[in-house]
Amino acid sequence: MDRPKLTDPIDGLPPDRRLLAMVSLGIVVCMAVLDGSIANVALPTIARQLHATPAESIWVVNSYQLAVTISLLPLASLGDVHGHRRIFCWGLVLYTIASIGCAEATTLPQLVMGRVLQGCGGAGIMSVNGALVRFIFPRSQLGRGIGYNVLVVATSSAAGPSVAAAIMAVASWPWLFAIQVPFGIASLLMSMRFLPRSPLTSHAFDVRSAVMNAVTLGLFITGLDGIGHGERLPLIVAELGGSLVMGIIFVRRQLTLRPPLLPVDLLIQRPIFALSAATAVCSHAAQIIALVVLPFYFQYAGGLSPYDIGVLMTPWPLAVVVIAPIAGRLADKYSAGILGGLGLALMTSGLVLTMLMPATAAWPDIAWRFAMCGAGFGFFQAPNNRLLIGSAPPDRAGAGSGMLSTSRLVGQTTGSALVAVVLGLTHGGPDSIVHATHIALGIAAVFAASAMGLSWLRVIPR
């Protein structure tokens, strides 16, 4: 089968093949998203069995997230050059091989190296999955496809701790990684058979920009992580300062390239693209702040067990799962600016109500507030993702997909670091945790309100 040229009309797959393509895509995306959180539950066990300190074991999680973040934009660019399906499948191959390496690791450095390779493979998957959805569904149904994709991501994120706990209840920690191998092989065969080919661009891959991107984001993430973990101030300043300097050089270089690795041309020439990316950063920061700080509140101030906390938090991701497909269908008919603005207004209200929630609130009083936040986020996410990916030209679909994933990870990283800073500054007993939670939820509400304002700006005719 010949690869489609840029002039070929590509408007989705036939319905029967579309279903099989989305199933194969969904399995792989589920694996990659699960892997971002599945190791958290096992960290104490991993640290003990590999004779590592708790602080050292954190790199099992951080190495994966760092590798994903710095690889997203380069791999998205490679998807535009060599084909999104090819990058997706090679990412899946690397991810599956790395899973075997993680399962066989006998030392912490071996496991961390396996996680780095897993992160690079996961980035190959996540950098182009949105672009593939664009070619799986016809443009008139793109919002529906994005809604299904959001559903998979939200369900996987919510199920991560439960899946890990279930595996750990009957097996040792290496099975967290080994169990992914047969799914990886099966989904690879399906992906090669059913995923669509996409148009190819004629530009070459810019290695220098890829290195600059990695240094900029890598220093930024480690600097923020250092703030949260109380590293020495000179080191933090050096990391963030180095990120800023390299970022300026990186962006200046992108302004001279056609097309650039970082889609600055789309950010400048298409305000709707820039507003959608900024909205994604703010909204994901708001959500992660709440989801990270609230378990501390319930455990230290409320005395709840990890299991009880998991049950208590369920209405939030459950509401996202229910609302995301509905919002995706509406996004095919109505403005993403309006839908996103309404959803983020609901999320902002939910965060404010959660911040004002009495300490003696019963489970139903907590549940409806969390469901309100989750419903607002779900109502925003699918329309925003559709607009961000759909506003990029077909031959730059990888850039749109990569920018979507990068915006999400930058928002989540920033939000997590802010929670660590707030908890560090208010260190103390339960009363301090309550105070820190109120501050963090206030910051989350500000982020959500900012995202709401950015979303409404997309309604203004340009």
**What percent of the chain clears pLDDT 90, i.e. is strictly above it?**
31
Asked whether residue 223 falls in the same domain as residue 174, the answer is no
State the pTM of this model: 0.80
Same domain for 304 and 330? yes
What CATH code is carried by the domain that includes residue 102?
1.20.1250.20
422 and 453 together in one domain: yes
Res 341 pLDDT > 60: yes
Decide if pLDDT at 427 tops 80.
no
Q: What mean pLDDT, rounded, does the chain reach?
A: 84
- Per the domain annotation, does 457 fall within a domain? yes
Residue with the larger pLDDT of the pair 45 and 248:
248
Compute how many other C-beta atoms are within 10 angstroms of the C-beta atom of residue 193. 11
243 belongs to a structural domain: yes
Which range, of 22-31, 101-110, 114-123, averages the lowest pLDDT?
A: 22-31
According to the model, what pLDDT value does residue 8 have?
Answer: 40
Judgement on whether residues 323 and 346 belong to the same structural domain of the protein: yes
| Per-residue pLDDT at 161 | 66
Mean pLDDT confidence for 50-65? 77
Give the residue with greater pLDDT, 431 vs 377: 377
User: Is 5 part of a structural domain of the chain?
Assistant: no
Q: What is the pLDDT at residue 41?
A: 65
- Contacts by 106-115 with C-beta closer than 8 Å and gap 24+? 106/50, 107/50, 108/46, 108/50, 108/51, 108/52, 108/56, 108/57, 108/59, 108/60, 111/46, 111/50, 111/60, 112/59, 112/60, 112/63, 114/177, 115/39, 115/59, 115/60, 115/63, 115/64, 115/67
Report yes or no on 4 lying in a domain: no
* Co-location of 397 and 456 in the same domain: yes
More confident residue, 162 or 26: 26
Q: Same domain for 151 and 230?
A: no
Question: Does some domain include residue 231?
Answer: yes
Given a cut of 80, whether residue 460 has pLDDT beyond it is no
pLDDT of res. 204 = 78
Each residue's pLDDT tens digit, 218-235: 898 888 777 766 678 889
Answer yes or no: do 197 and 218 share one domain: no
Q: Say whether both 244 and 177 belong to one domain.
A: no
Number of domains in the chain: 3
214 in any annotated domain: yes
* Residue 2 lies inside a defined structural domain of this protein: no
**Which domain covers residue 309, as residue numbers?**
263-462
Q: Which of 201, 223, 242 is the last residue of a domain?
A: 201
> Would you say residue 1 lies in a domain?
no
Same domain, 288 and 429: yes
Q: At what angle do helices 84-104 and 108-126 cross, to 10 degrees?
A: 160
Whether 325 and 369 map to the same domain: the answer is yes
Domain co-membership, 177 together with 319: no
Do 41 and 150 lie in a common domain?
Answer: yes
252, 244 contact by CB (below 8 A): no
Among 186, 201, 216, give the residue marking a domain's end.
201
Helix (H) or strand (E) holding 379: helix 363-390
